[in-house]
């Protein structure tokens, strides 16, 4: 099969959105006023970064699921739905653990 141009463009737009948001977060974090207060600003910056990453992750899974529904076989669609649920749960657990670690680091070094 060949993917439709609109599906390819949607994937490219998703990646571009993520890169632009990540770049903006990075550029803000390395400003001298922000960098001087690294540990103080860590939780807020970290949470914003995780929000961007989690949003991209969820949008990517939705995008792939749409492609599977459009181009895939029925058994692939069901497997992908199950796998997506596992990935989302795993990612959420990683976010919670990493957030707790960042808070601990802030408490130790701020």
pLDDT tens digits along 13-59: 999 999 999 999 999 988 998 888 888 888 788 888 888 988 998 89
Q: Model pTM?
A: 0.71
Query: For the chain, what is the domain count?
Result: 1
Q: How many residues does the chain have?
A: 110
CA angle, 60 then 17 then 32, to 5°: 125
Enter the tokens of residue 84: 């997506």
- Report the 10 Å Cβ neighbour count for 46: 20
pLDDT of residue 8: 92
Q: Which domain holds residue 95?
A: 5-109
CB–CB of 43/102 below 8 Å? yes
Give the residue with greater pLDDT, 22 vs 110: 22
pLDDT of residue 110: 64
Cα–Cα nearest to 65, from 55, 76, 49: 76
How many whole angstroms separate alpha carbon 22 and alpha carbon 57?
A: 13
């Amino acid at each position: 099969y060949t993917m439709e141009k609109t599906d390819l463009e949607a994937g490219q737009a998703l990646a571009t959105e993520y890169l632009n948001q990540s770049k903006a977060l990075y550029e803000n974090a390395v400003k001298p006023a922000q960098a001087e207060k690294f540990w103080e600003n860590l939780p807020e910056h970290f949470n914003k970064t995780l929000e961007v990453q989690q949003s991209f992750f969820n949008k990517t899974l939705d995008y792939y699921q749409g492609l599977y529904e459009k181009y895939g076989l029925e058994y692939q669609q069901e497997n992908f739905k199950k796998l997506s649920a596992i990935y989302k749960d795993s990612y959420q657990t990683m976010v919670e653990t990493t957030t707790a670690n960042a808070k601990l680091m802030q408490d130790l070094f701020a």
